[in-house]
C-alpha cells in the first residue's frame, strides 16, 4: 500500500508527497505533532497536518530567515526567536559571532522534545550556553519587553491556533517596542502566489509600527513550489538592505542571493499592492 501525505495549499490546491512510515504521532496541549519519513524530502516534522520542515530542504528556509536580518543589522548581539521549536533557526543564528544571547520562545514543549529526538541536525544547538529557552506564548512574552533586542525572528507556524495572534497589528506594535531603535524584525509570510491576502495583511499591519517594510523570497520545495515570502521590518528607515558581513560554509545564503531575494516581480507587486 502506498502512503501519501496531503497538504492543503488553498481550498482548491492540494500538494502530496509519498511517505514510507510514520515515526512519531502525539497530541500536545496545542496541536497534533507527527514525524514522518518521506521518499523525496527525508524526515519531516508535521504539525496539525502542515509540513514545518524537512531534512532535505530545511537549510534554505533557516538560512534565509536568519542570515538576511542578521547580516543587515550592524551588530546583532541579542536576538529573540519566536516559534522555531525544531531548532533550525537557532542553529543558524548561532553562526553569527556577534550574537551573545538568543532568547528562544516556543509555546509547545512537545515540538522541542520531538525535534531533539528525531531532528538532531536541527535541534542540536538548542543546548548552546548562549540560548535562553522560554516555554511560553510569544505574544505574551513580547508584550513584556522594551528596547531589549537587536533582532526578532518570527519562525512561527501558519496563522491558525496558537500562532494566530503572531500575525496581528497589536503583536507587531509590541514587537517594535521590544526592539532597540535600530532593531530589525523578520516574519515568515507564506507563498504569496497562493496566499496574497495573508501577505497583504501582514505587510499592512507591520507598516503601522515600522517605517521600513520589505519583502524577500526563497523557493522552498516542501512549502509549495511557489516562492515563499519573508517580511523584513526595521525601526529605522533602511535605504540599504545589503549584507554587511560574509558567512562561510552555507548552502543557500550568499551575499548575491541575499540581494537578489529582494527583487519583486511586477505581477507580485500588483497582486500584493506594494510599491517597493
Helices (H) and strands (E) in the chain, counts: 9, 12
Kindly list the distances between the CA atom of residue 131 and the CA atoms of 48, 96, 123, 170, in Å, as whole numbers in the listed order.
27, 13, 12, 27
Pick between residue 238 and residue 250 the one whose CB is nearest to ligand SAM: 250
* Nearer residue to ligand SAM within complex by CB, 23 or 238: 23
Q: Judged by CB under 6 A, which stretch of 4-12, 83-91, 176-184, 247-255 contacts ligand SAM? A: 83-91
- Considering the rule CB under 6 A, would residue 138 count as an interface residue with ligand SAM? yes
Question: Any catalytic annotation for residue 150?
Answer: no
224 forms part of the interface with ligand SAM (CB under 6 A) = no
* Contact track, ligand SAM, 32-61, x by CB under 6 A: ---------------x----xx-------x
Whichever of 167 and 210 has its CB closer to ligand SAM, that residue is 167
**192 counts as binding ligand SAM under rule CB under 6 A:** no
The nearest distance, CB 47 to ligand SAM, in angstroms, is 6
Count Cα atoms within 13 angstroms, Cβ side, for 123: 20
Of 140, 136, 165, 276, residue with least CA distance to 212: 276
Is 139 a residue that touches ligand SAM (CB under 6 A)?
yes
Q: Of these, 159, 162, 221, 255, which contacts ligand SAM (CB under 6 A)?
A: 162
Closest-by-Cβ residue to ligand SAM is 83
**Of the residues 155, 158, 182, 239, which is catalytic?**
155
Non-local CB neighbours of 223 within 8 Å, separated by 6+ positions: 51, 61, 190, 191
Q: Which helix (H) or strand (E) segment is 249 a member of? A: none
- DSSP letter (8 states) at residue 94: T
Among 35, 41, 80, 86, binds ligand SAM (CB under 6 A): 86
For residue 23, the minimal CB distance to ligand SAM (Å) is: 16
Q: How many residues does the chain have?
A: 276
Q: Which stretch of DSSP H or E encloses residue 149?
A: strand 149-155
The Cα 90–Cα 80 span in angstroms is 10
Q: Identify the residue among 90, 163, 175, 195 touching ligand SAM (CB under 6 A).
A: 163
Chain mean position to CA 132: 18
111 near ligand SAM, rule: CB under 6 A:
yes
Residue 174 near ligand SAM by CB under 6 A: no
Q: What are phi and psi of 150, to 5 degrees?
A: -80, -30
Secondary structure of residue 54 in the 3-state scheme: strand
H or E element, residue 126: none
- Asked if residue 218 binds ligand SAM (CB under 6 A), the reply is no
Which residues make up the interface to ligand SAM (CB under 6 A)? 30, 47, 52-53, 61, 82-86, 105-108, 111, 137-139, 155-157, 162-163, 166, 188
Amino acid at each position: 500500500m502506498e502512503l501519501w501525505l496531503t497538504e492543503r495549499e488553498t481550498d482548491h490546491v492540494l500538494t502530496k508527497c509519498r511517505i514510507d512510515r510514520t515515526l512519531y504521532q502525539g497530541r500536545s496541549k496545542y496541536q497534533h505533532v507527527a514525524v514522518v519519513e518521506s521518499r523525496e524530502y527525508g524526515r519531516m516534522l508535521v504539525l496539525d497536518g502542515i509540513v514545518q520542515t524537512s531534512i532535505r530542504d530545511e537549510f534554505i528556509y533557516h538560512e534565509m530567515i536568519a542570515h538576511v536580518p542578521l547580516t543587515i543589522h550592524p551588530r546583532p548581539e541579542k536576538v529573540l526567536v519566536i516559534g522555531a521549536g525544531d531548532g533550525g533557526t537557532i542553529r543558524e543564528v548561532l553562526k553569527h559571532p556577534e550574537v551573545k544571547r538568543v532568547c528562544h520562545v516556543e509555546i509547545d514543549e512537545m515540538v522541542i522534545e520531538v525535534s531533539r529526538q528525531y531532528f538532531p541536525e536541527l535541534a542540536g544547538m538548542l543546548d548552546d550556553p548562549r540560548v535562553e529557552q522560554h516555554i511560553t506564548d510569544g505574544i505574551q512574552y513580547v508584550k513584556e519587553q522594551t528596547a531589549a533586542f537587536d533582532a526578532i525572528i518570527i519562525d512561527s507556524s501558519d496563522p491558525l491556533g496558537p500562532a494566530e495572534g503572531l500575525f496581528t497589528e497589536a503583536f507587531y506594535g509590541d514587537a517594535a517596542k521590544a526592539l532597540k531603535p535600530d532593531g530589525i524584525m523578520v516574519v515568515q509570510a507564506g507563498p504569496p502566489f497562493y496566499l496574497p491576502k495573508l501577505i497583504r495583511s501582514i505587510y499592512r499591519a507591520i507598516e503601522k509600527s515600522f517605517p521600513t517594510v520589505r519583502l524577500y523570497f526563497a523557493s522552498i520545495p516542501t512549502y509549495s513550489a511557489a516562492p515563499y515570502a519573508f517580511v523584513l521590518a526595521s525601526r529605522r528607515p533602511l535605504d540599504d538592505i545589503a549584507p554587511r558581513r560574509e558567512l562561510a560554509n552555507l548552502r543557500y545564503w550568499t551575499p548575491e542571493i541575499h540581494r537578489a531575494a529582494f527583487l519583486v516581480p511586477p505581477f507580485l507587486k500588483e497582486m500584493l499592492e506594494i510599491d517597493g
